[in-house]
Chains A and B, each alone.
Chain A
Amino acid sequence: MIEDLGTTEQGELVVNLGPQHPSTHGVLHLVVTLNGETIKKVEPHLGYIHRSIEKMCESLSYRQFIYVTSRMDYLSSHINNHGCALCVEKGMQIEVPPRGRVIRVLMDELTRLASHQLWWGAMAMDVGALTPFFHAFREREAINDIMEQTCGARLTMNYMVPGGVMVDIHPDFQQKVKEFIRFFKGKIDEYDELVTENVIFKSRMEGVGYISPEDAVSFGCTGPTARGSGVSCDLRKISPYEVYDQVQFEEVMENGGDCFARYLVRMQEMRQSLSIIEQLIDNIPGGEFQAKTKAVLKLPKGEFYSRVETARGEFGVYIISEGGTTPYRIKFRSPGFSNLSALDHMARGHKIGDLVAIMGTLDLVIPDIDR
């Protein structure tokens, strides 16, 4: 016979979303308390994909630990590597040659594009439209091919090294990127036609998952999640690294604070990334792509911190060095973790379907949260 389905004393239904669930994009476990269809409370449970990367880094040299960080936010692996490389360079006071800087920025922006494309497809799939996912993957494939040609890998590139980039770009790189820009400019308008302008999609997004600028700051939200609430937090603007202070681009901000605002921010960011790539692709300076560094890197005793803007927000690397060849302690500040903490605040009072939409706009990558 039917037994008690696990209701609370107030007659609320407790549902476990995940760790195996199609909408959590990984092994996230949400304990959702429901009153009918309405969400009373969301409690994220983490730890299903914890690989103790921070501890692992303590026994790896300053060249080696960068590769592990590709496995954190695997959709922005370039940018993670970049953040780590920056921190090591800061400690060693290595000057990256101009060519290396520009290549790094180009790769970062391509990664951001690829990440946002995947997010766009997954976002549409979360609200029930399955077709955009395939369209997004078609375009993402083009970026992956470009990456593969230069870096030799498609997902975990490990291309950034302390002092610059590992190898020079492929001879076809510039031409291929230009082809991709032409191709993708038409496609991004198609994205808007197919999904952004859709009445059902708009009604699913507007007014859902509101977070005020004050709350966004106090939850530590960064990236498009905070910029959707009108909080200026683009590190490329407010603390420029590499050549971001030499290119023209806008920090995209929306004041809606709801899912649709976050959606629009990411769509606009794709256009901004395209424009950054366009400005740089013909202006890659000649010369060395990598600075001369010692074979064994040793950071001086002290604490070093650097941060970069990934596709999801602020990624920080904090290294404590005792002067040896390996870090004494390493701490990563991942954007997904803080963004996830705002989920409960955003989702209360909404329906189950909205929870999935809100998770979609947070663009969660679980290995990034769990590390």
Chain B
Amino acid sequence: MLSFEHITQAIDKWLFGTFNPNVAIVIEGLIAGLCMIGLFAILGLVLVLMERKVSAYMQIRLGPNRVGPGGSLQTLADTLKLAMKEGLTPDGADKFLFNLAPFLVIVTAMLVLAPIAFARNVSLWDLNIGVLYVSAVSSLSVIGILMAGWASNNKYSLLGAMRSGAQIVSYELSAGFAVLSIVVLTGSLRISDIIESQRDGWWLFKGHIPAIIAFIIFIIAVTAETNRAPFDLAEAESELTAGFHTEYSGMKFALFFLAEYVNIFIVCSIAATLFLGGWMPLHIGAWTGFNHVMDYIPSSIWFIGKTFFLIFVIMWFRWTFPRLRIDQLLNLEWKYLLPISMINLLIMTLIAIKGWHF
């Protein structure tokens, strides 16, 4: 079976054979960066279209169906339109921060993509603190949002940004606890190790009930962290028009929009990695024949399948639930999710120490 490993190693070998090591490492970095930007663009195109189609079918509509076959080029057309629009900066805005904010948000999203394993041996940077890195860097995006809200010199933006700040900071805690409960099982923060530890079964099934609770808490928390409905208070359109990005237009708005979708992809891929085995095929203990068949499905398909299933679930939330109120949102986190996830982590630690997991 074709493995990405062969390709990457061949390129690596050729580069280091042809150029001197310093030049080679720079070229390699450039190639990796270009790949990421390409991936970024594709993700944006696919996910925006997917959201529109999912919402359309839930709302008895057809969704975009004019540009390209089945509306597949609609996002491209929209992006072109946004790119051609004038990027307005309001008169009373803090120009430097206003223009910096969307880039901060998008760069954060790009950085988080680095340690994610897209298939067997395919990740940009398999660093030994992968999960910690993801949690740490993804929380930087709140600075961008606060910056955007403050610099816009708009009351709606400010309210949206304040909501967003409170929300992301709170929900990061329970997302962190949910991640930790898997880390105590694997004993490693490296993403490839976490995936490798799920060779004979995914943690969702191996970790008893605490793993399932952690999974549910993680999905709720990341839905809130990415500002998606029912937690989309930061941009609650019926209350705050568009929240923190009310004043943004053109490409700067597009960057916020793109970052939202890439963030959804990131959190879903992390959830898939931690709980559903990342690119690891579905293996069931003693069923050798079944496991063998599952191995024939390429690892990238497994990863994409799991991630997009979770993305679909998050989109499903958005088009079904009403929005929570800000106090209810914070109550849910501080009074319910956080205590539950703390106790859950304790139980999980006990399971890990005693070796009760499968």
Contacts and interface: CB of A to CB of B under 8 A. Distances in A.
Nearest to A360: B238
B104 to A, nearest CB: 18
Interface in B307-335: 319-328
Contact of A203 (B240, B319, B328): B328
A22 B238 contact: yes
A133 B61 CA distance: 12
A240 interface: no
Contacts of A125: 238
B153 interface: yes
Interface residues of A, number: 36
Contact of B319 (A13, A126, A130): A130
Nearest to B233: A353
A200 B324 contact: yes
A32 to B, nearest CB: 10
Given A2-B153, A21-B241, A353-B239, A131 B326 contact: no
Nearest to A6: B155
A198 interface: yes
Contacts of A5: 153, 155, 158
Contact of A129 (B236, B322, B325): B322
Given A2-B94, A3-B92, A5-B155, A124 B322 contact: yes
Interface in B228-278: 229-230, 232-233, 236-241
Contacts of B60: 134-135, 138
Which of A200, A203, A351, A355 has the most chain B CB within a 10 Å cutoff? Answer: A200
Interface in B83-104: 92-94
Interface in B321-353: 321-328
Contacts of B325: 203-204, 351, 353-354
Nearest to B154: A5
A356 interface: yes
B145 interface: no
A195 B321 CA distance: 8
Contacts of A198: 321-322
B319 A131 contact: yes
Interface string A124-158: 11111111011100100000000000000000000
A295 interface: no
A22 B323 contact: no
Interface centre among B229, B237, B322 (most CB of A within 10 A): B322
B89 to A, nearest CB: 13
A37 interface: yes
Nearest to B327: A351
Contacts of B232: 128
A320 interface: no
Nearest to A134: B59
Interface in A312-351: 351
Contacts of A1: 94
A353 B236 contact: yes
A204 B321 CA distance: 12
Interface in B118-175: 150-151, 153, 155-156, 158-159, 163
20 contacts: A1-B94, A2-B94, A5-B158, A6-B155, A22-B237, A22-B241, A23-B239, A124-B322, A128-B232, A130-B55, A131-B58, A131-B59, A134-B59, A203-B324, A204-B323, A204-B325, A352-B239, A353-B233, A353-B239, A354-B325
Given A22-B241, A131-B55, A353-B233, 14 more contacts: A1-B94, A2-B92, A2-B151, A37-B159, A37-B163, A128-B321, A128-B323, A131-B58, A134-B61, A135-B60, A198-B321, A200-B324, A353-B325, A355-B239
Interface of A: 1-3, 5-6, 13, 15, 21-23, 37, 124-131, 133-135, 138, 194-195, 198, 200-201, 203-204, 351-356
Top 9 closest pairs, chain A to chain B, by CB: A128-B323, A134-B59, A23-B238, A129-B322, A127-B322, A353-B325, A128-B322, A201-B322, A15-B155
